[in-house]
């Protein structure tokens, strides 16, 4: 909790809030023990007994607002906050409130005496399981206490962490995961997952990789503990134990592996979600294997040892992704740990180190260069697919004749055939839908291409009977063009022009 207090202005007190605060101040005036944590055992180190005695003395002035406000200017902060708060009840009104931004949102409270805001808020909201901790963070730090706040009470342990059952029960019940009776997500056998051992509660939690979410489970569990290091009661670890489906020998996944201290601390301090912890752990583990050399292939819950072909056969993805990835993997022995069988995901993991190699498997160097120079918003797998598309269209086009002269029918037929060959049927149909010719003979040719790819019937309404009949006749000429390359393509185009009755020039580039 930062010391810096930023007041967000002073406001007139809403009536209900005033009534509420006065009622709470009245309760505190007659019972200061409401502020005191229950000590789990006989506490040697906590000073709550002494503080309670001081508060009981303060309570003797519970009808004397002036004296109380005076008492709120010296001594222990908690006692000051107590005096300040019960002085509200003594004066019977709270015309103005101050508000302060804290991690739970804006909170309004009354300022009296000379008291740190955290203490005033913690005391004035002593019935709120989150806010009341504000009055105890400092003492917990100074005296190395563990203070637990559960809805019904506050507990203190001065002898290291010692969680009361009501606290752990509440925290498990309000966990961001729907925990089953065994305190797991319901998949206690899962190969990958987060393990949390809560020592003093004697509880083991397990959240599998599939169920893990963008939350920090540990942070939830300790969110109502005030202590120097509230995570000091928890052991955090990751289970990663794939089944060996190939002959691994002494499988390296059976070795002990501890996550780095930095990773652990980042998680403990709430800087990482459960999902991020798991993926960083896997990265660390993979990096560790990579440093020590050798091969190891893991996909999801299966370990293929060094059997890269079995591993590759398991991967799923587009043709381009599979070509790129298997090419790189066959060229370069390396450990690969993937939490699933998606080639795209592995490509994404390998991208920072191996993007040139991956792209080189599917495209010429100049295409690789231009794709890397202008990646746009494409993800690594999309870039691989794009590079392959460019490569394919280049090689298709290189097998087609170029024309120096062609007329309108030659142009539409050649354009449609090229689009079909480089980008597929859907792209060709789109091109026609966007740019439908008007002249009857051209329309008949267009219809012929639709017939050739089996997309004509749904568009009949766009054509006259004459165009449809003519187009059906041209369909097989179009089909021959779509299948042809080189000189055959040239001949197919000449035949189509003749069949359409076109009287136009066609001349190949030399
Ligand atoms: Zn105690
Ligand atoms: Zn699960
Ligand atoms: Zn293995």
> Which ligand ends up closest to the CA of 211?
2
pLDDT reported for residue 9: 61
- Kindly give the distance from the C-alpha atom of residue 273 to the centroid of ligand 1, in angstroms, as a whole number: 33
Domain boundary among 97, 122, 157: 157
Asked whether residue 11 falls in the same domain as residue 152, the answer is: yes
User: Residue 50's CB: how many other CB atoms inside 10 A?
Assistant: 11
| Sequence-distant (≥ 6) Cβ neighbours of residue 443 within 8 angstroms | 436, 437, 463, 464, 467, 471
Asked whether residue 145 falls in the same domain as residue 246, the answer is: no
- Kindly give the distance from the C-alpha atom of residue 234 to the centroid of ligand 3, in angstroms, as a whole number: 30
As residues whose CB is below 5 A from the ion ligand 3, the structure lists 244, 248, 251, 303
Asked whether residue 381 falls in the same domain as residue 408, the answer is: no
Asked whether residue 324 falls in the same domain as residue 246, the answer is: no
* Residue 299 covered by a domain: no
pLDDT reported for residue 103: 80
* Residue 203 covered by a domain: yes
Polymer length in residues for the chain: 510
As residues whose CB is below 5 A from the ion ligand 2, the structure lists 185, 187, 208, 211
Domain boundary among 370, 396, 422: 396
- Chain centroid to Cα 353, Å, comes to 23
- Kindly give the distance from the C-alpha atom of residue 57 to the centroid of ligand 2, in angstroms, as a whole number: 55
Asked whether residue 147 falls in the same domain as residue 18, the answer is: yes
- Kindly give the distance from the C-alpha atom of residue 325 to the centroid of ligand 3, in angstroms, as a whole number: 21
Beta bridge partners of 146: 157
- Kindly give the distance from the C-alpha atom of residue 417 to the centroid of ligand 2, in angstroms, as a whole number: 51
Asked whether residue 33 falls in the same domain as residue 138, the answer is: yes
Residue-level pLDDT, tens digit, the chain, 510 residues: 333 344 456 677 788 899 999 999 999 999 999 999 998 777 777 889 999 999 999 999 999 999 999 999 999 999 999 999 999 999 999 989 999 988 878 999 999 999 999 999 999 999 999 999 999 999 999 999 999 999 888 999 998 999 999 999 999 999 999 999 999 999 999 999 999 999 999 999 999 999 999 999 999 999 999 999 999 999 999 999 888 988 787 888 888 899 999 999 999 999 999 999 999 999 899 888 888 777 889 988 899 998 999 999 999 999 999 999 999 999 988 889 887 899 999 999 899 999 999 999 999 999 999 999 999 999 999 999 999 999 988 888 889 999 999 999 999 999 999 999 988 899 999 999 898 899 999 999 999 999 999 999 999 999 999 999 999 999 999 999 999 999 999 999 999 999 999 889 999 987
Asked whether residue 28 falls in the same domain as residue 81, the answer is: yes
pLDDT reported for residue 153: 87
| Sequence-distant (≥ 6) Cβ neighbours of residue 415 within 8 angstroms | 431
- Quick one: tokens of 79? 């006692």
214: DSSP letter = S
pLDDT reported for residue 4: 39
- Quick one: tokens of 391? 């490569």
pLDDT reported for residue 3: 38
Considering only CA atoms, which of 87, 98, 132, 105 is closest in space to residue 13? 98
379: DSSP letter = -
Tally of structural domains, the chain: 4
| SS3 of residue 117 by DSSP | helix
* Residue 297 covered by a domain: no
- Rounded to two decimals, the pTM is 0.71
> Which ligand ends up closest to the CA of 147?
1
- Kindly give the distance from the C-alpha atom of residue 113 to the centroid of ligand 1, in angstroms, as a whole number: 27
CA distance 223 to 101: 18
Asked whether residue 178 falls in the same domain as residue 141, the answer is: no
- Quick one: tokens of 216? 């920090």
For 270-323, the three-class secondary structure string (H helix, E strand, C coil) is CCCCHHHHHHHHHHHHHHHHHHCCCCEEEECCEECCCCHHHHHHHCECCHHHHH
- Kindly give the distance from the C-alpha atom of residue 381 to the centroid of ligand 2, in angstroms, as a whole number: 28
Task: Tell me if 407 sits within 8 A of 439, measured CB to CB.
Answer: no
> Which ligand ends up closest to the CA of 206?
2
Asked whether residue 241 falls in the same domain as residue 138, the answer is: no
CA distance 366 to 282: 34
Asked whether residue 18 falls in the same domain as residue 65, the answer is: yes
DSSP secondary structure letters along 42-74:
--SS--HHHHHHHHHHHHTTTT-HHHHHHHTTS
Q: What are phi and psi of 117, to 5 degrees?
A: -55, -40
- Kindly give the distance from the C-alpha atom of residue 495 to the centroid of ligand 1, in angstroms, as a whole number: 98
- Chain centroid to Cα 52, Å, comes to 47
- Quick one: tokens of 366? 């100049």
* Residue 349 covered by a domain: yes
pLDDT reported for residue 1: 37
Distances (CA, A) of 300 to 140, 177, 321, 333: 44, 22, 18, 19
- Kindly give the distance from the C-alpha atom of residue 509 to the centroid of ligand 2, in angstroms, as a whole number: 64
* Residue 310 covered by a domain: no
Asked whether residue 185 falls in the same domain as residue 238, the answer is: yes
Q: Cα(first)–Cα(last) distance of the chain, in Å?
A: 80
For 216-230, the three-class secondary structure string (H helix, E strand, C coil) is CHHHHHCCCEECCCH
Domain range for 443: 400-508
Q: What are phi and psi of 7, to 5 degrees?
A: -75, 140
pLDDT reported for residue 295: 85
Domain boundary among 363, 396, 429: 396
- Kindly give the distance from the C-alpha atom of residue 185 to the centroid of ligand 2, in angstroms, as a whole number: 4
* Residue 386 covered by a domain: yes
- Kindly give the distance from the C-alpha atom of residue 353 to the centroid of ligand 3, in angstroms, as a whole number: 25
pLDDT reported for residue 45: 77
Asked whether residue 179 falls in the same domain as residue 67, the answer is: no
CA distance 253 to 210: 20
Q: What are phi and psi of 101, to 5 degrees?
A: -90, 125
* Residue 309 covered by a domain: no
- Kindly give the distance from the C-alpha atom of residue 49 to the centroid of ligand 1, in angstroms, as a whole number: 8
Q: Is 106 exposed, middle or buried (0-12, 13-18, 19+ CB in 10 A)?
A: exposed
CA distance 481 to 307: 45
* Residue 36 covered by a domain: yes
- Quick one: tokens of 50? 């002494």
């Amino acid at each position: 909790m930062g010391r810096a207090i930023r007041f967000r202005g002073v406001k007139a007190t809403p009536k209900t809030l005033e009534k509420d605060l006065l009622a709470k101040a009245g309760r505190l005036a007659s019972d200061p023990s409401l502020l005191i944590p229950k000590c789990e055992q006989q506490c040697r180190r906590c000073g709550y007994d002494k503080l309670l005695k001081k508060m009981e003395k303060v309570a003797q002035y519970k009808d004397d607002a002036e004296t109380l406000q005076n008492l709120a200017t010296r001594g222990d902060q908690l006692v000051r906050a107590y005096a300040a708060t019960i002085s509200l009840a003594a004066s019977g009104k709270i015309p103005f409130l101050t508000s302060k931004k804290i991690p739970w949102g804006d909170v309004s409270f009354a300022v009296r005496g000379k008291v740190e805001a955290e203490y005033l808020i913690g005391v004035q909201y002593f019935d709120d399981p989150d806010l009341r901790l504000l009055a105890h963070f400092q003492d917990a730090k100074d005296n190395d206490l563990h203070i637990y706040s559960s809805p019904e009470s506050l507990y203190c342990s001065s002898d290291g962490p010692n969680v009361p059952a009501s606290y752990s029960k509440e925290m498990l019940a309000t966990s961001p995961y729907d925990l089953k009776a065994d305190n797991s997500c319901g998949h206690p056998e899962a190969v990958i997952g987060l393990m949390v051992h809560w020592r003093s509660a004697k509880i083991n939690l397990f959240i599998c990789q599939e169920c893990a979410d963008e939350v920090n489970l540990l942070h939830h569990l300790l969110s109502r503990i005030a202590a120097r290091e509230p995570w000091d009661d928890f052991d955090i670890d990751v289970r990663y134990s794939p089944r060996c489906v190939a002959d691994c020998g002494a499988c390296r996944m059976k070795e002990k592996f501890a996550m780095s201290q930095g990773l652990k601390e980042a998680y403990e301090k709430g800087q990482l979600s459960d999902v991020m912890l798991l993926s960083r752990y896997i990265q660390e583990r993979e990096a560790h294997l990579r440093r020590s050399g050798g091969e190891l292939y893991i996909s999801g819950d299966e370990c293929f040892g060094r059997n890269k072909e079995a591993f590759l056969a398991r991967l799923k993805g587009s043709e381009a992704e599979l070509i790129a990835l298997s090419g790189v993997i066959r060229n370069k022995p390396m450990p690969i740990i993937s939490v699933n069988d998606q080639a795209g995901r592995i490509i994404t993991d390998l991208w920072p180190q191996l993007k040139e190699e991956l792209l080189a498997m599917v495209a010429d160097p100049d295409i690789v260069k231009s794709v890397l120079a202008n990646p746009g918003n494409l993800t690594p797998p999309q870039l691989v697919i794009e590079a392959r598309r460019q490569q394919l269209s280049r090689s298709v086009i290189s097998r087609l004749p170029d024309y120096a002269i062609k007329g309108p029918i030659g142009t539409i037929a050649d354009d449609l055939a090229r689009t079909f060959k480089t980008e597929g049927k859907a792209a060709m149909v789109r091109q026609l839908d966007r740019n439908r010719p008007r002249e009857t003979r051209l329309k008949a040719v267009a219809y012929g291409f639709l017939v050739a790819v089996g997309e004509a019937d749904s568009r009949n309404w766009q054509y006259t009977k004459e165009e449809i009949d003519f187009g059906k006749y041209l369909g097989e000429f179009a089909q021959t063009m779509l299948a042809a390359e080189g000189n055959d393509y040239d001949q197919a185009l000449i035949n189509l022009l003749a069949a359409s009755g076109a009287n136009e020039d066609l001349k190949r580039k030399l």
